Structure 1
Amino acid sequence: MDALVPDIDSTVTNGATAAANTMDTFQMKDLSTMEGSDTQLHLIDEDKQFSGELANFIQHKWHLNDAGFNYHLAAVFGSQSTGKSTLLNRLFGTHFDVMSESARRQTTKGIWISRGKGMRVLVMDVEGTDGRERGEDQDFERKSALFSLATSEVLIVNMWEHQVGLYNGANMGLLKTVFEVNLQLFGGNRGKEKTLLFFVIRDHVGATPLTNLANTLLADLDRIWQSLSKPEGLEDCRITDYFAFDFTALPHKLLQPEKFEEEVGKLRLRFSSPSDPEYVFQPPYSKRIPADGLHIYASGIWEKIMTNKDLDLPTQQELLAQFRCDEIANVAFGQFFEAIKSFRHTIEAGTVINELGSVVKKARDEAMISFDKDASRYHSEVYKRKRVELLNKLHSTLEPYFVGQLKNLHKAALALCTTQLQQAFSRKDDSQAIDFSVVSKKAKDEALDLFITGAKAIRLDQTEWEYEEEQFQLERDLLELANQQREKELTKMLTLLEKHLKREMDEPIKLALDQPGPNMWGRVIDTYKTTLDEAQVMLRKKSQVFDLEEEKLTLMEENLRRQAWVLMTMKVQEESIEGLIVYKLLNRFEEQFQRDERGLPRVWKPSDDIDAPFRKARNEDPLTGTKFVLESTDDFDFEQSLKVLSETRQQEIGNQLRRKADATFVEAKRSIVATQAKVPYWVGVALVVLGWNEFMAVITSPVYLSMTAMVGVPMAALWYLGMLGMVQTVIWKVYEQTADFGRERLRDMVLEQPVLASPPQQWDRPQLPPRVGTGASTSSGLERHSSGLSQPQLRRSSRSEDREEERSNGEFEMGDLGETKKTL
C-alpha cells in the first residue's frame, strides 16, 4: 500500500518553478473576467431530479458537442463548508457559489456542472456531506457521491488535515457504502477503467508529513474495502482494481493566503497542462464516452442509482422505528397465532368449521389494533411500511386456512348433494312421482348455497382471496355427481327389469319345451313378446322420473329388447341339452304307454293287448312335426336362423327314443311271459323233503327267522303283485349306469393325459347290448328313470355323445344379437 503513495513533497518542490510562470496569468486575476454564471447547469437539484438541459449546454454553452473523447470530467467530494466550491473556482476558473464567511450556511444544493475556463474539462460541484440542512437524511449524500464516482475521471476528495484518521469526519462510512454499491453496480468493469481519487488535504501546517497522512488514508480505505460485502465472483478483488490514488496538501487559506494561492496555481497545472509530469487526466481514467452522448450516459447512471435500494439506508430514527416496530409486530403476531392454531388440525382432518371466518377476522383485527397502538408513535413511514408487512404476514398465515376451508366445503357440498339424491330415490312409495331434474336441481342448489355461504364467511377484506374458481369446479363436480346418480338409478331399474323378464319367461318357456309339438316355438315367442311388452311399459313408466331424452330412452328400449332375447335363448339352451330332451321325450312316451286314459299305472296281464298302446304311444312321437329351429321374428332381423337342434341331431334323438321305447316294450312282454311260467308240483315236494332240516333251523332261530322275514316278506309281496321283474330291471339299470359312469370317467382321464410318442387316437365307445330283465310292472319305466337316471347323470352320460355329434354335422346354435354361439 505504501508504494501507491507518490513522493508528494518532491512533487510540490519540482513544480514550484512552473507554477511561478503561470501565476501572472491566473492567480491574481479578477474572477469577473471569467465566464459568467449562465454557463453553469443545475445538473441534479435538491429533489434528486436530473436536468434535461445537459445536451443543450454541451452543444451551445460549452461547445463540446464535437469534442468526441477529447474532454475530461472532474468532481469534488467532501463535507459541507470545507471550501469545495472555492477550490474548484481557483483550479478551473468556474463561478460556483461560495459560502459567506458571516453566515456559514449551505450554498451548493444538489450537483452543479460547468466547463473549466480555457480547458476542455467539465467540473461538477457536489453538495457537501454532513450538513445540518439535511440532518440524518443521508440518502442524497450517498447517491450524489456514487454518481460522482461513477461518471468522473477524477474525484477530488476535499478534507481538513484534522479529519484524517477519523471515521465519520473523513466520510469513511459514506465511502464504504458508496464503494459497496459501486462494486455491485459496476463491478463488471474490473481492470477496464479506473477512477482517480485525488485527496486534497486543506489547512496543512506541515507538522505531519503528507506521506504519513496519505498512508493513514490508504490504510483506512483498504480496511473498509476488506469489510465490504462483495458480489459473487469478486471476492478476491482489490481496491486498486477500480481506483487509483493521489494526494496533495494546501496551506491555510486565511493564515497563509499567499502560500495558498501559490500552491493552488501549481495544482492547476496538473489539471490544465497535459505536458505536466503530474497531469491527472491520464488515459486509464477515461470513461470513453463521447461528449455528444454524455447526457444519455449520465442520466442512465443516475436512474440506475435512484432505483438501487442498497443506498436507501435508514436514519437513526428510522432504525429505532424499525427495531421497535418489528418487536411490536412479533408480539402481535404471536397473540394472533395462539388464537388460530387450534383450528389447523381440524381443518386438515376435513371438518368444516362454521365459526372460522369470524374467529380469524377477530384475531387479525385484534393483532392490528395491538400493533397500531404501540407502533404508531414511531417514524410514520417506517410504521406504515411495517404495518403493511404485518398485515401481509397475517394474511399469508391465514391463506392455508382459507384454502383448507374451501376444500372441506367442497367435500361437504358433494356429500350433501349425494345424500339428497339418495334420499329422494330411496323411497319405497311408488305412488309419489319423482322428477329427477327437480330433485337434482334442488340438491345442487342446496350444495352450492352451503359452499358459497361458508366461502363468504371465511374471505377477509383487504385480501385478494377468491373462491370463484373453486365454485366453478364444484358446479362441474355436482353435475357429474347428478349424472352418476342418475346412471346408477337407471342401472338398478334395468337390473330389476331383467330379473322380471327372467322370472316371467323361465316357467312358460320350460313348460313349452317340456311339451314339444308343432306350436312349441309359437308359445315360446308369444311368451317372449308378452313379457317384453310388459317390461317396455314398465321402462317407460319408471324412466319418466329421470327426465331422459327420447333418443336415450329409445336406446334403452333396444338394449332391453336384446337382453330379453338373450334371456330367452339362454333358457332355451338350458332346456335343450340332448340328454335332457331324451329324458323328457321318454317320460312322455312312458306316460302314454304305461298309463291308461285315467292316468293310472297299467299292470300288464297275459290277457292284455300290449301292441295297441305301444303303437299309439309311438305314433304320438313328440318330435313329429316339431322343427327345432327358432326362426327370426319381425322384431329381430337376423341374417340366419338360430338353430337349437340340427336335423341330424333331431334324427339321432328320435333313434335313441325309439330304441329305449322298444326296450320298454320288450321288458313289458317278458314280464307277462314270466308271470305265465308254472312250477311242477314235485319241485315243491322235493324242496320240503330236502329242506326240512334247514326250514326247522330257521324257524327255531330268532335271528334266522327275523332275517328271513325281512327278506322273504317283501319278495313274496313283489311276486304276488307281479312286480318282481320290475325290481330286477331297476337293479340292472343301476348297474348299467354305474358302469357307464365309470367308463366315462376313465375315458376322460385318458384323453386328458398328454400324448408323448404317438398321435391322438380316436376312442370308440363300446356299445353294450341291451339287457332285458324278467318280471313285469306297470310303473317300471317311471320308477326306473326317477330312481336311476337323475338329471345330472343324464347330462354326464351324454357328454361323449355330444362330442361325437360336434365332430359330425350336428350343431347346437345359439344366438345373442345375431351372433352364433358355440355348440353345447
Structure 2
Amino acid sequence: MDDTAFEKQSALFALAVSDIVLINMWCHDIGREQAANKPLLKTVFQVMMRLFSPRKTTLMFVIRDKTRTPLENLEPVLREDIQKIWDSVPKPEAHKETPLSEFFNVEVVALSSYEEKEEQFEEQVANLRQRFFHSIAPGGLAGDRRGVVPASGFSFSSQQIWKVIKENKDLDLPAHKVMVATVRCEEIANEKFAGFTANETWCVLEEAVRAGPVAGFGKKLNSILYAYLSEYDAEAAYFDEGVRSAKRKHLEEKLLQLVQPAYQSMLGHLRSETLEKFKEAFEKALNGGEEFSVAACNCTECYMALFDEGYADAVVELANWDSSKVRDKLCRDIDAHVASVRVAKLAELTSSYEAKLNDALSGPVEALLDGANKETWPSIRKLLQRETESAVPGLSSALSGFDMDEQTKEKMLKSLEDCARGVVEAKAREAAGRALILMKDRFSSLFSHDSDSMPRVWTGNEDIRAITKTARSASLKLLSVMAAIRLDDSVDDIENTLCSALMDTKNNAALTKRSITTFDPLASSTWEEVPPAKTLITPVQCKSLWRQFRAETEYSVTQAISAQEANKRGNNWLPPPWAIVALIILGFNEFMTLLRNPLYVGFIFVGFLIMKALWIQLDIAGDFRHGALPGLLSLSTKFVPTVINLLRKLAEEGQMPATNNPQRNPATASRSFQNGNTSIDTSSSASSGVTSSANGTQYSSPTKEE
C-alpha cells in the first residue's frame, strides 16, 4: 500500500517538475500487461487529473533492443495500448471528453541492442541526445512549458511541490509557478534594494545633496538606479512575467521612495539658490539705475530659465514627479520678493519726496505763522502750490518706471499733495497751540519798542492807552489768523467777529446787559463758513485766550503807567508854588537871622555837604524806589557803617597835609580844606550822575524789570 502511494506521489512529482518523461520499455514487452508498464501508465494518467491546471508533458517511450520488426509496426500497437489506458482512467467531469493529446505529447524512439549493434546504438543515442539539447526550442521535445521555473528557483520550487504532494493536496502548477516567482522575485528585489542602499556612490550623493545642490544629480542618480534595475531584470528574467513586472515595479517604487527626499532636497536647494541669485541680480540691476519693472521682468525670466536648466539636470527619469509645485513656489517667492521690494522702493521714494516737502514747507510756514498778518495765508497758499507743483511731476516721473496703473499712480500723487497740506496743517495746529505765547510776544514787541524797534522809554509824553490798543489789536489780528486753516480761497469773517466782540468796548458793554448765549458771537464751538476740520481755535477758545492774554499783559501796562508817573515825579523836585510862597512868608525871620550871623551859613553849608554825601553814599532814592518799608530797612542796615566810613575818610584827608608839610601856613591849610570840599563836591556830582543814569535805566523799559 505504501509502495503504491509512493509510486503515485513520485509520478505526480515527476510530472510537476519535468518537461519530458522517459519510459524505458523492452521491445519484447510491447503488448504485455505488467512488463509493458501499463499499471504505471494508468497511475501517471490518474495523478495527471490531480493537477489543478496541468501543463502539456512529453511522454517519450524508449524501446530498447529493437528486433527486426520495424518501428512503424511497433509504434501503432504501443499508441493503441496507451489510448486504451487513457480511456479506462476515470476523469473529472470537465475532462471526460478531453483527448490524450491535450495533456501529453507521445513520442516513440527505438534503440538497437547494445551488445549486438554497439556502434548503431551509440549513434542512435547521440541523435537522441541532440534532440534533448534543443528540447526547449520551438518544435522541440519539451511541452508548452507553462509551469517552467528558472534554475535559480528550481530548488525552492521542487521543495514546495513535494511538500504539497506529501500533504495529498491537489497541485496547482500555475499558482505554484506564481508563488515561486513571487518568492524569488521578492528576494531578488530585496537584494537589489539593500545593495542600492549600501551603495557608496549613492551614500556620497545623498550626503552631498543635504548640504547643497549637486551638479549632475539626475545623471548620477539615474545611472545607479538603472544599474540595479538591470541586475534585477537579468536575475528575474525567467520567472513569471506578471510577477516579475509587478516586483520590478514595486522595487522601482521603493527605490524612488528612498531617493525622493534627496530629490526634493535637491529641488529645494535649487529653488533657494535661484531665489538668492535673483535677489542679488535684482538689487544690482536697481542700483545700476535700471527701471524697476524692466529689471523685475528681465531677472524673473533669466532666473526662471536657470531654474528650469537646473531641474532638467536633476530630473529622475524613472519617476514621473511633478516639479510644478516647486516651480510655482519659486514663482510665488520671486513675485513676493518683487512685491516687497516694490513696496519698499515706493515707500522710500514717497518718503523722500515727503521729506523734501516737509523741509521746504516747515520752516517758511512756521516763520509766516510766527509773523502772522493779513498776507500770511495767501503767502502760505502760494508757497504750498509752488512746492507741490515742483514735487508732484518729479514723483510722477519716478513712478513711471514701476509700470503701475494710472489709478494707483494718481492715488499716490494725491497722497503726496495731501502730505504737503498735512505738513502745513500740522504747522498751523502747532502754531495755534502757541497762540497765547505768540500774542504776548506780538504785544510785547509793539508795546515795549518804538517804530524803530528801540526799547521804549516812558518819559511821560507817550499815549499809553493808544499804544496798548494798537498792540492788543495786532495781537487780536494774530489770533484771528491762527483761528482757522485757510488753504482754500474761501473768505471768512473771523477777524471782524473777534474785533467786534473783544475790541469794541461799547458793544461789549451793551452785550453784558443781554443774554450771552443769544447775542455773544463767540459763544459757539464753530465759525461761520469754516468747516470744523479747518478750525484750529474755536470761538469759545478765542474768548478764553483773549481773557488770559489781557490778564497776563495787564501787568506790563500797569508797570508802564507806574514808570511814567515815577519819571514825572523824578523830574519835578520843587514843591508846589503855594508851598514856596508859604516858606517865603513864614521863613522871613529865619532868613534875616542868617544874614545877621554869617557863621550859621557856614554851618548850614557844611551840614548840606554832609547830608548830600550821605544821600549819595546810602543811595536813598534807589532804596525808596521799591517802597517805604524796604527803604527804611535798607537804610537801617547801611546808615551807621556809611557814617563811620565817611568820617574816617574826612579824618584821613585832614591828616595828610599836616603830615606832608608841618610848616604849612594856615592859608595853605585853608586852601587844602577848600580843595577837600571841592573833591567832595566833585564826587557828589559824579554820584549824582550815576543816580540819574540809574533812574533813566529804571524807567526806560518796564518789560526788562519783569
TM-score by length of 2: 0.53
Say whether residues 1:175 and 2:175 are aligned partners.
no
> Equivalences for 1:286-435 in 2 at 5 Å?
312-314=178-180, 322=185, 325-326=188-189, 329-330=192-193, 332-336=195-199, 338-344=200-206, 347-348=209-210, 351-368=212-229, 375=235, 390-426=251-287, 432=289, 434-435=290-291
- Which residue of 485, 501, 512 corresponds with 1:630? 485
Partners of 1:87 and 1:612 in 2: how far apart? 153
After superposition, the C-alpha distances for 1:29-66 in whole angstroms (9 at most, x for unaligned) are: xxxxxxxxxxxxxxx99789xxxxxxxxxxxxxxxxxx
Counterpart check, 1:537 vs 2:393: yes
- For the Cα contact (< 8 Å) 1:332–1:368, is it kept in 2? no
1:137 maps to 2:3: no
Q: Contact conserved, 1:402 with 1:458, CA < 8 A, in 2?
A: yes
Name the CA shift for 1:671/1:632 in 2 (closer, same or farther; >3 Å).
Answer: closer
- Secondary structure in 2 matching 1:576: helix
Matches of 2:92 and 2:208 in 1, distance apart?
79
Find the counterpart in structure 1 of residue 703 from structure 2.
Answer: 781
One-letter amino acid matched to 1:505 = L
CA contact (8 A) 1:497 1:535 kept: yes
Cα pair distance change 1:360/1:671, threshold 3 Å: same
CA contact (8 A) 2:164 2:170 kept: no
CA distance in 2, matches of 1:170, 1:406: 53
- In structure 2, the CA distance between the partners of 1:311 and 1:554, relative to structure 1 (3 Å rule), is same
Q: Which amino acid aligns with 1:360?
A: L
Q: Displacement, 1:470?
A: 2.8
**1:650 aligns to what?**
542
Q: Does 1:86 align with 2:88?
A: yes
Note if 1:592 corresponds to 2:446: yes
- Mapped contact 2:457–2:700 kept (Cα < 8 A): yes
- CA contact 1:668–1:777 (8 Å) conserved in 2: no
1:583 maps to 2:583: no
1:526 aligns with one of 360, 382, 389 = 382
Aligned-residue offset at 1:354: 3.0
> Counterpart amino acid of 2:394?
M
Where do 1:183-198 residues align within 5 Å?
A: none
Structure-2 change in CA distance of 1:574 and 1:342 (3 Å): farther
The one-letter amino acid of 1:137's match is G
> How many Å separate the matches in 2 of 1:716 and 1:358?
115
SS of residue in 1 equivalent to 2:477: coil
One-letter amino acid of the structure 2 residue matched with residue 497 of structure 1: Y
Mapped to 2, the partners of 1:543 and 1:360 lie a distance apart of 49
Matched letter for residue 474 of structure 1? L
1:462 aligns with 2:318: yes
The alpha-carbon deviation at position 456 of structure 1 amounts to 0.3
- Would you say the 8 A contact 1:332–1:371 is kept in 2? no
Q: Which amino acid aligns with 2:235?
A: A
Contact 2:442 2:474 (8 Å CA) reproduced:
no
Aligned partner of 2:561 in structure 1 is 669
Cα deviation for residue 473 of structure 1 reads: 3.9
Q: Structure 1: which amino acid aligns with 2:541? A: R
Q: What CA RMSD, in Å, does the superposition of the two structures yield over aligned residues?
A: 5.1
* DSSP 3-state at the match of 2:537: coil
Shift of 1:488: 2.2
Q: 1:362 to 1:83 in 2, by over 3 A?
A: same
CA displacement at 1:692 relative to structure 2: 3.6
Q: Distance in 2 between matches of 1:691 and 1:416?
A: 95
Residues of 1 paired with 2:532 and 2:258: CA distance? 75
Shift of 1:646: 2.5
Q: Contact 1:348/1:404 (CA < 8 Å) preserved in 2?
A: yes
Provide the rounded CA distance (Å) in 1 between the counterparts of 2:705 and 2:637.
40
Q: Deviations over 1:777-807 (max 9, x none)?
A: 42x53684xxxxxxxxxxxxxxxxxxxxxxx
For residues 103 and 551 of structure 1, the distance between their equivalents in structure 2, rounded to whole angstroms, comes to: 92
CA 1:330–1:519: 2 relative to 1, 3 Å: closer
* Residues 783 and 497 (structure 1), Cα distance of their counterparts in 2 relative to 1, 3 Å cut: farther
Per the alignment, do residues 169 and 425 of structure 1 end up closer, same or farther by CA in structure 2, a change over 3 Å counting?
A: closer
C-alpha change, 1:132 and 1:564, in structure 2 (3 Å) is same
1:90, 1:610 → 2: CA distance? 146
Give the corresponding residue for 1:508.
364
Cα distance change of structure 1 residues 472 and 397 upon mapping to structure 2, 3 Å threshold:
same
3-state SS of paired residue (2:179): coil
Does residue 575 of structure 2 align to residue 573 of structure 1?
no
Instruction: Tell me if structure 2 keeps the 8 A contact 1:332–1:370.
Output: no
- Bigger Rg, which one: 2
C-alpha separation in 1, matches of 2:364 and 2:429: 14
3-state SS in 1 of match to 2:373: coil
CA distance in 2, matches of 1:326, 1:454: 32
Query: Which amino acid letter does the alignment assign opposite residue 391 of structure 2?
Result: A
Deviations, residues 697-750 of structure 1 (Å, cap 9, x unaligned): 9999xxxxxxxxxxxxxx9999665479x9xxxxxxxxxxxxxxxxxxxxxxxx
Change (3 A) 1:571 1:81: farther
- Given the superposition, is the C-alpha separation of residues 720 and 422 from structure 1 closer, same or farther in structure 2, using an over 3 Å criterion? farther
Is contact 2:368–2:376 with CA below 8 Å preserved after alignment?
yes
User: Which consecutive unaligned segments of at least 5 residues does structure 2 have?
Assistant: 1-51, 57-81, 109-140, 150-159, 491-528, 575-607, 619-634, 649-686
Find the partner of 2:346 among 472, 490, 513: 490
Q: 1:443 aligns with which of 299, 320, 323?
A: 299
* Residue deviations 1:614-658 (CA, integer Å, cap 9, x gap): 4544454451794533357379x9966622223343344344444
2:55–2:145: 8 Å Cα contact kept in structure 1? Answer: no
Q: 1:167·1:173 contact (CA, 8 Å) conserved in 2?
A: no
Taking a change above 3 Å as real, the CA distance of residues 532 and 689 of structure 1, as seen in their structure-2 partners, is closer
| 1:459 positional shift | 0.6
Change (3 A) 1:699 1:603: farther
Give the Cα–Cα distance (whole angstroms) in 1 for the partners of residues 283 and 394 of structure 2: 22
**Are the aligned partners of 1:576 and 1:644 in contact in 2 as well (CA < 8 Å)?**
yes
**AA partner of residue 375 (structure 1):** E
Q: Return the alpha-carbon distance in structure 2 between the equivalents of residues 446 and 328 of structure 1.
A: 45
Aligned residue identity for 2:477: L
Q: Distance in 2 between matches of 1:598 and 1:533?
A: 39
Alpha-carbon distance, 1:344 to partner: 4.0
- Give the total of aligned pairs: 452
1:410 and 1:718 map into 2 onto residues whose CA distance is 93
Q: State the Cα distance separating 1:463 from its structure 2 match.
A: 2.9
Contact 2:439 2:549 in 1 (8 A): yes
Question: Given the superposition, is the C-alpha separation of residues 392 and 323 from structure 1 closer, same or farther in structure 2, using an over 3 Å criterion?
Answer: closer
> Partners of 2:274 and 2:646 in 1: how far apart?
93
Greater helix share, 1 or 2? Answer: 2
Report matched runs for 1:19-34 at 5 Å.
Answer: none
Write the letter of the residue equivalent to 1:340: W
Tell me the CA shift for residue 447 of structure 1.
Answer: 1.9
Preserved contact between residue 629 and residue 642 of structure 1 (Cα < 8 Å): yes
User: Which of the residues 409, 417, 420 maps onto 1:553?
Assistant: 409
Percent identity over paired residues: 15
> TM-score w.r.t. structure 1 length?
0.46
Unaligned runs of 5+ in 1: 1-43, 49-79, 107-130, 140-165, 179-304, 701-714, 727-774, 785-824
Q: 1:815 — aligned with what?
A: none
Relative distance call for 1:357 and 1:777 in structure 2 (3 A) is: farther
Which AA in structure 1 matches 2:556?
T
Alignment of 1:708-719 (within 5 A): none
Distance in 2, matches of 1:551 and 1:657, equals: 50
Contact kept, 8 Å, 2:447 with 2:468, in 1: the verdict is yes
Shift of 1:694: 7.2
